[in-house]
Amino acid sequence: MYGHANNVLQCAAWQNEIMPRVEPSEKIMDGMDEIFIEFLNEANEVLDKFDRDMVELENDPSSRALLDQIFRGIHTIKGTSGVLGLDKLVSISHCGENLLSKMREGEILLTPDLTTVLLTMSDALRQILGCIAQSGTEGDGEFSALVESITAATEGRKAKRATARKPRKTAARKKSSVGSDAAAKNTAPPAATMVAEPAPDPVPAAKPKRKQESPAGEIKTQSEPPAESQVSSIRVDVGLLDKLMNLVGELVLARNQIMQFTTADNGTAMSAAVQRLNLITAELQRGVMKTRMQPIGTIWNKLPRLLRDVARGCGKDVELNMDGAETELDRTILEAIKDPLTHIIRNAVDHGIEPPAVRVQGGKNPAGLLTLKAYHEGGKVNIEISDDGAGINTEAVKQKAIERNLVSPAEAQRLSERELYNLLFQPGFSTAKEVTNISGRGVGMDVVKSNISKIGGTIDLQSTPGHGTTLKIKIPLTLAIVPALIVTSASNRFAISQVNLVELVRLEGAAALSAIEFIHNSPFYRLRGTLLPIVYLDRQLTGFDDRGGSHRDVITIVVLQADDRLFGLVVDEVKDSEEIVVKPLGNLLKEQKCFAGATIMGDGRVALILDVMGLAHKAEVLGEQRSRTNSTAVQKAEVKAQLDEWLLVKAGRKHHLAIPLARVDRLEEMATSRLEWSGSQLVVQYRGEIVPVISVAETLGFSVGQELPPVVAVVVVSWKGRRFGLLVEKISDVVQAQITIDKARQSQYLKGSAVIDKRVVDVLDIDGIIANTCSMVEELETAVGQGGR
Amino acid sequence: MSKQFCTFVLDRLLFGIEVEKVQEVIRYQEMTPVLTAPDSIAGLMNLRGQIVTAVDLRRRMGLPKNEEGGLPMNVVICTSEGAVSLLVDRIGEVVETEPETFESLPDSVRGEVRQTTTGVYKLEHGLLHVLNLGATLDGIVTSGGSPRTMAAA
């Protein structure tokens, strides 16, 4: 039973990943359902509290604070039900609210009878909530008698029906301390009696029997079966989740350690147990990570209000459109993007969207439109904020940049669009003509950018004059456990987050001797024709400059991205890529800008995590002056970047294939022994996932049934939120080229052929090739879902 | 009111920390150096999954290197910002002190010691230096760049 339920859950989760886009109409329904569920949970909580408070109030009728709390509770239910169009709930809670408000004014004093009436109301509300949970409607329960008795109480009359019911109820409640069965069977109020006891000790000896049932809410389920189905979520202390996360982090480390031991000693029973431990740990890690995930909607919810205030503040009319509010993110990241997001939205309304009159002149809807969009892509979360405002005035930006001495007038004319937009993220930059109280003080976008960089994210701006601006933020899903590259330098190990990693370059022999060139004292490497500033990690760390001894036999350059600039970090050796648990550095080391934290490696020793931004700053590869003197090089890089980048691979004996680099997640070399079969599908365990591996040569019919070499290259790509590996013989190169695809050889798997670097290559159609294996993948998932238990 | 001190030896001097501030005492562990950090930071160590910064007390106090050889010991202190380890030569006993025997540092004592020591208890067999923990640790952060980082600049 248990296993089965799990399978269903897992399949459901996979299905979500495989089919990421739901029809819009369905989504709205989903959204509504979510709101309803949230309301039901909340309302039930409010009612439970209402019962407790009510009983406490009976003991302490003079407590104004309690009465206020009770009133607020009912008011909340009334308000939300009104919004959701739940008329019965509204009318009943409205009556109750009237009664309570009279009580607050001191016109009516609480009597046991009144308490009963109010508690009966709470039961009625609960009953309706139960119906909603079950059938989605308020049900056809009749509550006019209740309403009548409440109204009567409000008006100070005695309602006949209500009085008739009262004595029995009261009797039951009074009897509750005796613990009779009748009282236990009664609806929620007695339960509340128990919960409301401030300290468990003074409970009379006769109570315990019922006391066991009451706090868990069993009584509620006893009297109202429908309510049972609602308890599908519980509230958990965030501190506890953080603690769990830390413990899982420890477990991951312990697992890594154990894995290291077992590779040396290959006992089969042991390695099987370790394999299991490995799988379970990975799954547990994923599960716990998931508990920390929250939909981005939780911070978006506050935006409509903010938007309204800002829009009114500057006399504009703005509509907000949100798409993908269910996209989930780790809560620490969610916390971190809250402020930047607020800032961006203020900016968009204040600077982006024009006043209604101007909009009408421009033939636009007088109300501006702000669109928020969030979605997962390639293991990251993308957030897009677009407005349909005036766009960015590039001339104004240029003027301002010249004014602020960021560029010379001559340089300004040469700046590419992207460089211009990047200027907006410089400190102290604002194109607003006047400073408003909302934005335009020149603090802002630079802070937004640095906040986003801090969590390993990037921000990109696109703008069309007259049509609006789009900001695209890419952030990692989580920060607690991150994939990292382990390198050595100055006889120490260091971890570099994969988020910052662009590529690795290894130079040997003659190439190593002449590869690093100098402009005065600054080292550079020519990476595909562009000068890449070089930073020696050991020199940065030890401060020891051994320029004379800089000739090494082998040079390993880790190409990193800091902000939007690339630089090459020379390390002694690249060890491995590993999932690491990020731990903060103590207070004594907070000044160490080069390090973002530390982690414990498989052997139990500590390794420092490099802070790529901090390192770049320390090495001054991002420094203001350096970047300006380099602007021509950067410009060239920009031009290059507009060309497409292609990954060239070899498949089969002689076939050269090109894969658009933009589609490639990672390149891996692995031992053929790591490849396993699952059903008829070749798979590999990769970062805790089972990744289907597609042999390109075989699919294209180059080499059917050929023996694989001992080491193969796998190009990891994402397709609809899943990872896939493309098995090739060799990864040849990355080239930048504008190619024309000759469609003569177009097929199911190929887009056609083209000439790259004077060689004919076939351009692979990734979607085609994966879609074809997809049916196999589904089979695989079902198989894994069952086998994993 | 008598006070209990956990004592340790540094360069033949007897030092003491209030017992309640000491989390544990452990043998020397392998450290990961933090090359850019001030000299008095000995490195980072893994204390049952917790990453603890170790302070080389000899360097912090401007005392010479330990010539006697032998590995230092870790006195792990709990601070409000987590655990910190102090590297000392040798661990002594827990000593009970009487307030009458306390004396603040005489003016004639100079150097880094003034900052890191609040005073001494006059014990039967010698003087017990009371470590000023707050100042000792704060000094590391505020003293800023080490000679090594200076050279890099």
Task: Report the run of H or E that residue A713 belongs to, with start and end.
Answer: strand A711-719
| pLDDT at A486 (0 to 100) | 93
Inter-chain contact A608–B32, Cβ cutoff 8 Å? yes
B108 lies in some domain:
yes
Question: Would you place residue B25 in the very low, low, confident or very high pLDDT band (cuts 50, 70, 90)?
Answer: very high
Residues of A in contact with B134 (CB under 8 A): none
> Could you say which of A419, A450, A476 is where a domain stops?
A476
| pLDDT at A778 (0 to 100) | 63
Residues 114-133 of B with CB under 8 A from A: none
Do both A727 and A769 map to the same domain?
A: yes
Inter-chain contact B44–A608, Cβ cutoff 8 Å? yes
Inter-chain contact B44–A598, Cβ cutoff 8 Å? yes
Residues of B in contact with A594 (CB under 8 A): 36
Residue B36, domain extent: 3-147
Do both A471 and A504 map to the same domain?
A: no
CATH of the domain at A256: 1.10.287.560
Q: Which residue in A has a C-alpha nearest to residue B37's C-alpha?
A: A592
Residues of A in contact with B153 (CB under 8 A): 543
Low-confidence stretches of chain A (pLDDT < 70) are 1-34, 157-231, 263-267, 378-379, 427-444, 480, 544-552, 563-564, 622-643, 653, 703-706, 774-789
Residues of B in contact with A605 (CB under 8 A): 30, 32, 46
Do both A579 and A710 map to the same domain?
A: no
Do both A276 and A159 map to the same domain?
A: no
Report how many domains make up chain A. 5
Do both A450 and A494 map to the same domain?
A: no
| pLDDT at A399 (0 to 100) | 80
Strands A759-764 and A655-660: parallel
Tokens at A782, concatenated: 């079902």
Residues of A in contact with B84 (CB under 8 A): 586, 588
Do both A514 and A368 map to the same domain?
A: no
B76 touches chain A (CB under 8 A): no
Q: How far apart are CA A73 and CA A68, in angstroms?
A: 9
Name the residue facing A606 among B51, B82, B153 (closest C-beta): B51
The whole-chain average pLDDT of chain B stands at 83
pLDDT tens-digit readout, A624-640: 433 333 444 444 444 44
Do both A679 and A755 map to the same domain?
A: yes
Question: Would you place residue B76 in the very low, low, confident or very high pLDDT band (cuts 50, 70, 90)?
Answer: very high
Residues 6+ apart with CB under 8 A from A137: A131
Report how many domains make up chain B. 1
| pLDDT at B77 (0 to 100) | 92
Name the residue facing B35 among A542, A591, A600 (closest C-beta): A542
Inter-chain contact B34–A543, Cβ cutoff 8 Å? no
Residue A774, domain extent: 643-787
| pLDDT at A32 (0 to 100) | 58
B64 lies in some domain:
yes
Residues of B in contact with A619 (CB under 8 A): none
Inter-chain contact A588–B141, Cβ cutoff 8 Å? yes
**Best of A606, A610, A620 to mutate (most B CBs within 10 Å, chain B):** A606
Q: Which residue in B has a C-alpha nearest to residue A588's C-alpha?
A: B141
| pLDDT at B8 (0 to 100) | 92
Tokens at A752, concatenated: 């056609």
Name the residue facing B37 among A490, A493, A589 (closest C-beta): A589
CATH of the domain at A561: 2.30.30.40
B34 touches chain A (CB under 8 A): yes
Helix (H, G, I), strand (E, B) or coil at B49: coil
Q: How far apart are CA B98 and CA A648, in angstroms?
A: 79
| pLDDT at B84 (0 to 100) | 92
CATH of the domain at A724: 2.40.50.180
Inter-chain contact B140–A253, Cβ cutoff 8 Å? no
Number of CB pairs, chain A paired with chain B, less than 8 A apart: 82
Do both A502 and A589 map to the same domain?
A: yes
Asked whether B133 and B55 are in contact (CB, 8 A), the reply is: no
Percent of chain B beyond pLDDT 90? 25
Q: How far apart are CA A11 and CA A786, in angstroms?
A: 10
Do both A513 and A601 map to the same domain?
A: yes
Q: What is the DSSP string of A578-638?
A: EEEE-BPPPGGGTT-TTEEEEEE-TTS-EEEEE-HHHHHHHTTSS-HHHHHHTHHHHHHHH
Inter-chain contact A583–B152, Cβ cutoff 8 Å? no
Inter-chain contact A544–B151, Cβ cutoff 8 Å? yes
CATH of the domain at B102: 2.40.50.180
Do both A82 and A208 map to the same domain?
A: yes
